[in-house]
Amino acid sequence: MGAIGIGATTLGYLARRLIDSLLGRGLEKYKGDLQPEANQYKADLQRLTTEHSVRFQRLHDASADAAAEIYARLLALDEALFSALRSFQHTGDMPLDRKLSEVAKLHNDLRHYYLPRAIYLSRNNCTNTVAIHS
């Protein structure tokens, strides 16, 4: 009985090793077959990531440029409004009608610049700008 047990154990061990070896070779071959495809997916993902990064960097740059220019134009309009609407006009200043013409020009310039670029601003900034502008 002991010899049969040892023989069965040995046979089971050898069968397990044979199956592991066959499965291991098949698995390695399968992994080797998948590696080029995995590398292609990695390359495609890297390319898409780069394109996405470049696209959103350009969008961010356009947004920052639009916000800075709109802010500069708002400051110029605010200064012109302040100058035209203050209670006491300084001697030597532009006549009031020229100041009001300048306010109108700055307002129209701001409006023509802002409207096509409003998409670059956050919703909160658009709401505030429209409230100021109205």
Return mean pLDDT, the chain: 84
pTM above 0.75, yes or no: no
Inform me whether the pLDDT recorded for 26 exceeds 80. Answer: no
Residue 133: pLDDT band (50, 70, 90) is low
Identify the pLDDT of residue 107.
Answer: 92
Inform me whether the pLDDT recorded for 69 exceeds 80. Answer: yes
SS (H, E, C) the chain: CHHHHHHHHHHHHHHHHHHHHHHHHHHHHHHHHHHHHHHHHHHHHHHHHHHHHHHHHHHHHHHHHHHHHHHHHHHHHHHHHHHHHCCCCCCCCCCHHHHHHHHHHHHHHHHHHHHHHHHHCCHHHHHHHHHHHC
What is the Cα–Cα distance from 27 to 14, expressed in whole angstroms?
20
Identify the pLDDT of residue 128.
Answer: 67
Identify the pLDDT of residue 56.
Answer: 87
Residue 104: pLDDT band (50, 70, 90) is very high
